[in-house]
Amino acid sequence: MNLLNPARFFLFSRILTLSAVLTACAPDSPHTSSNPGTEPLSDDSSIVHGKNVKEKSELSRSVVALVSTRQDGQAVCTGTILAEDMVLTAAHCVEGQPQKISVVFGNQVHLAKPESIRNVESFIQNPLWHHPSEKGQGDLAIVHFLGKLPTGYQAVKLASDDFKLFSGQEVQIIGYGVTNGLSHLGAGVLRQAQTTVIGQKTKSEIITDGRLSSVCFGDSGGPAFTQVDGNFTQWGIASSVKNQACNQSSVHTAVMGYKKWILASMQKLRKFGK
């Protein structure tokens, strides 16, 4: 499988209208957020050509929004639950020392109540993300939040190390991103869509078709699923799209080669938090 030189439009989405200030996450040693309090979201704020995810559906029980506060406003990303206090997301979602990052549980970010928000204490980015010879690779991070999971949520099932994808395979994508990459409207609502695998950029980066449906800005860090033995299994993390309109192709970081790093980073974050 091959696709030449897809451009790197990374997929976090700005939200400039949220009235409440949400905390941050961020390299291969734990980074802390500056203000670990819980604050509500209270304003209007999804996947291109997708459909809204039903409350408490199987796909939504392991997916969360990450809202970061930065000097120029707020940004939304997507993540998946690894454990009762850990989330897997994209490394670029916690780039640039955000002032604060919060994990938001629920299908609509702007409707989240205080009891559905957890603030991030620390995070670790994969070291390949900052390696000059590995441009775009290692786009994943582990986020440690304060508190426990709300009722009804559970850890995602990650693909095994020997899991294989093939060209033309149908996969499910899900995230809180915009519905239009040019207007940047619709961020903050959990949506899902189906697409197909069309290529492989590197050993750890899989390309999916974006012509009919695609991840877009705000879906960064969100999962790509396939069914294994009847269960939804996460194999990918949304990283980038080829064009700003989000209608050509998208790149997903394959989790299969990072399982050892994920487990080691979770242990490091727990040790750091004690």
Q: Report yes or no on 50 lying in a domain.
A: no
Whose structure tokens read 């449906």? Answer: 213
Residue 221 lies in domain: 170-257
Alpha-carbon distance of 91 to 130, in angstroms, equals 10
Residue 162 lies in a domain: no
Based on the domain organization, do 243 and 199 belong to the same domain?
yes
4 within domain boundaries:
no
Q: What sections of the chain are H helices per DSSP?
A: 259-273
Tell me how far the alpha carbon of residue 20 is from its chain's centroid. Answer: 21
DSSP single-letter state for residue 139: -
Give the number of domains in the chain.
2
Are residues 139 and 129 in contact, defined by beta-carbon separation less than 8 angstroms?
A: yes
**Residues of the chain with pLDDT > 90: what percent?**
60
**Element at 271 (helix H, strand E):** helix 259-273
User: What string of pLDDT tens digits covers the 274 residues of the chain?
Assistant: 323 233 456 555 544 333 222 222 333 455 544 322 222 222 333 466 667 787 778 888 999 999 999 888 889 999 999 999 999 999 999 998 889 999 999 999 999 999 999 999 999 999 999 887 667 689 999 999 999 999 999 999 999 999 999 999 999 999 999 887 887 888 899 999 999 999 999 989 999 999 988 999 999 999 999 999 989 999 999 999 998 889 999 999 999 989 999 999 999 999 876 5
Please give the C-alpha separations between residue 180 and each of 12, 54, 79, 142, 223, in angstroms, as whole numbers: 13, 21, 20, 28, 19
Q: Which residues contact 28 (CB under 8 A, 6 or more apart)?
A: 124, 125, 126, 127, 265
- Tell me, yes or no, whether 178 and 138 share the same domain: no
Closest CA to 22 of 64, 57, 69: 69
Q: Do 98 and 108 belong together in one domain?
A: yes
Chain centre to alpha carbon of residue 270: 21
Collect all residues with Cβ–Cβ distance below 8 Å to 182 and sequence separation of at least 6. Answer: 244, 245
Q: Say whether both 130 and 175 belong to one domain.
A: no
Q: Which residues contact 147 (CB under 8 A, 6 or more apart)?
A: 85, 118
Are 145 and 227 contained in the same domain? no
Q: How far apart are CA 149 and CA 122, in angstroms?
A: 17
Distance CA 232, CA 171 (A): 10
Q: Are residues 16 and 140 part of one domain?
A: yes
In this prediction, residue 70 carries a pLDDT of 86
User: By the 8 A CB rule, do 172 and 269 touch?
Assistant: no
- Nearest alpha-carbon partner for 162 in 264, 235, 232: 235
- Are residues 144 and 190 both part of a single domain? no
Question: pTM value?
Answer: 0.84
> Is there a domain that residue 204 lies in?
yes
Question: Is 151 part of a structural domain of the chain?
Answer: yes
Contacts of 27 (CB under 8 A, 6+ apart): 124, 125, 127, 129, 130
